């Protein structure tokens, strides 16, 4: 058994002290690129200022015979003096049961650990996977003389991972957040969809028959097969002070459905989503930033409510202590995003980035 106090002790002599709180930084879009792909790497100087998180992907999506080139590509990018400004730099390593996961960590933490904000770990099954990487990272950080802990983000993409979601979130002070991985999760659960995220025309509810006209056409409504997992993930993350994200949307050409999937996640509490292709960057940024009209409304409700207690009517709707808290969630997000994005700041009428 570990006591509560042990939880914040470094797991290796000389390792940095574990984080007591996960710093909130804008992460509406986690943009994936393959570091072994020279064309993608060449685009980084223009992509970095546009995204909240740039992620060098080593896992699925990178060919097996390119795994080493991808690792080396990351080192080359950092050694080449890549400038991140206030954009976060993450990597997705191969899973710890794969032939590459261990060497990804052994190679990259010493080589680029000082620049790394977060390591995304795929196919996490339970707390034991987080405990493993927690100790290993502490040892590698100590050896490399790193002064701040690298945070860990787990992908929720196995049935066992979903069953263990609370213990995964609670497993280490390094835990930064979780992403829903609908592709691997569908495979692991034996779901019968071959899509990477999104809905399915067969997953629907049908309108009741019209009693006096049984042959009338009955409307159908597609449902979101990811609703349960996402909602469960959001609760687990919030309960443990870490951040929930929707993952990939594979139909790159269907930008409208991508936007819908991202918005469902935003409305349920997710803070961001992955972008697999440059066309998805602006979709995620738009969706995970509150709309100016919602910010204006939230601001009006908060002002009208004064000290935030009691009940009043605003435009025919009841507002009270609880709805003020809802409005404060929107306002708080708007303020934080405005501090990074001058255009948003202007649209919200809020202070923008300081020089
Ligand atoms: C289930 C999961 O694990 S999801 C995560 C793993 N998968 C990924 O990370 C996939 C990342 N994305 C990709 O590999 C690619 O975007 C693909 C394969 C989906 C499509 O690639 P392409 O067919 O080359 O797309 P397209 O022709 O539209 O690309 C246009 C340009 O954008 C570039 N580009 C495409 N995706 C990216 C990206 N993620 N980052 C940077 N540049 C990109 C292309 O290199 C191309 O450059 P060019 O104009 O200099 O030729
Ligand atoms: O890694 C992501 C997924 O959907 O699988
Ligand atoms: Mg996956």
The 10 Å Cβ neighbour count of residue 186 is 20
Nearest CA to ligand 2 atom 2: 181
> Which residues have CB less than 5 Å away from ligand 3 (the ion)?
157, 181, 184
The 10 Å Cβ neighbour count of residue 42 is 10
Which of 122, 189, 198 has most ligand 2 atoms within 8 Å of CB, for mutation? 122
Nearest CA to ligand 2 atom 1: 181
The 10 Å Cβ neighbour count of residue 334 is 25
Determine contact, residues 58/71, Cβ cutoff 8 Å.
yes
Determine contact, residues 126/168, Cβ cutoff 8 Å.
yes
The predicted pLDDT at position 3 comes to 86
- In 3D, which of 143, 179, 141 has the Cα closest to residue 19? 141
> In a structure prediction context, what are the per-residue pLDDT tens digits for the chain, which is 355 residues long?
878 888 899 999 999 999 999 999 999 999 999 999 999 999 999 999 999 999 999 999 999 999 999 999 999 999 999 999 999 999 999 999 999 999 999 999 999 999 999 999 999 999 999 999 999 999 999 999 999 999 999 999 999 999 999 999 999 999 999 999 999 999 999 999 999 999 999 999 999 999 999 999 999 999 999 999 999 999 999 999 999 999 999 999 999 999 999 999 999 999 999 999 999 999 999 999 999 999 999 999 999 999 999 999 999 999 999 999 999 999 999 999 999 999 999 999 999 998 6
The 10 Å Cβ neighbour count of residue 264 is 17
| Distance from the alpha carbon of residue 103 to the mean position of ligand 2, in angstroms | 21
- Tell me, what DSSP letter sits at residue 23? P
Task: Verify whether ligand 1 is closer than 6 Å to residue 57 (CB atom).
Answer: yes
Task: Verify whether ligand 1 is closer than 6 Å to residue 48 (CB atom).
Answer: no
Burial 193-226 (b: 16+ CB within 10 A, else e): bebbbbbbeeeeeeeeeeeeeeeeeeeeeeebbb
| Distance from the alpha carbon of residue 128 to the mean position of ligand 3, in angstroms | 19
Determine contact, residues 52/88, Cβ cutoff 8 Å.
yes
Residue 11 tokens, joined: 């797991």
The predicted pLDDT at position 335 comes to 97
| Distance from the alpha carbon of residue 184 to the mean position of ligand 2, in angstroms | 5
ipTM of the complex model: 0.99
Tokens 């738009």 sit on residue: 286
Task: Verify whether ligand 2 is closer than 6 Å to residue 157 (CB atom).
Answer: yes
The predicted pLDDT at position 6 comes to 87
Which of 91, 230, 248 has most ligand 2 atoms within 8 Å of CB, for mutation? 248
């Amino acid at each position: 058994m570990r006591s509560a106090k042990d939880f914040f002790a470094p797991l290796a002599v000389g390792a940095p002290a574990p984080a007591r709180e996960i710093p909130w930084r804008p992460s509406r879009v986690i943009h994936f690129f393959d570091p072994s792909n020279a064309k993608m790497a060449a685009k980084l100087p223009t992509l970095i200022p546009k995204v909240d998180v740039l992620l060098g992907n080593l896992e699925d999506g990178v060919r097996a015979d390119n795994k080493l080139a991808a690792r080396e590509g990351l080192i080359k990018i950092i050694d080449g003096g890549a400038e991140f400004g206030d954009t976060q730099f993450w990597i997705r390593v191969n899973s710890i049961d794969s032939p590459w996961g261990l060497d990804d960590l052994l190679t990259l933490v010493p080589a680029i650990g000082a620049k790394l904000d977060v390591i995304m770990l795929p196919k996490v099954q339970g707390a034991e996977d987080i405990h493993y990487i927690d100790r290993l990272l502490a040892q590698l950080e100590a050896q490399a003389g790193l002064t701040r802990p690298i945070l860990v983000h787990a992908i929720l993409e196995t049935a066992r991972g979903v069953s263990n979601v609370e213990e995964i979130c609670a497993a280490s002070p390094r835990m930064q957040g979780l992403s829903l991985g609908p592709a691997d999760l569908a495979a692991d659960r034996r779901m019968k969809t071959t899509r990477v995220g999104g809905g399915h025309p067969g997953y629907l509810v049908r309108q009741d028959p019209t009693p006096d006209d049984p042959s009338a056409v009955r409307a159908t409504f597609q449902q979101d097969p990811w609703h349960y997992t996402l909602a469960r993930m959001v609760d687990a993350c919030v309960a443990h002070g870490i951040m929930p994200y929707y993952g990939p949307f594979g139909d790159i050409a269907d930008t409208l459905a991508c936007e819908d999937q991202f918005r469902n996640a935003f409305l349920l509490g997710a803070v961001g989503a992955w972008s697999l292709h440059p066309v998805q960057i602006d979709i995620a940024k738009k969706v995970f930033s509150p709309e100016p009209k919602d910010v204006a409304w939230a601001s009006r409700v908060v002002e009208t409510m004064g000290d935030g207690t009691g009940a009043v009517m605003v435009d025919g709707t009841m507002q009270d202590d609880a709805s003020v808290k809802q409005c404060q969630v929107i306002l708080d997000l708007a303020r934080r995003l405005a501090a990074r994005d001058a255009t948003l700041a202007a649209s919200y009428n809020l202070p923008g980035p300081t020089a």
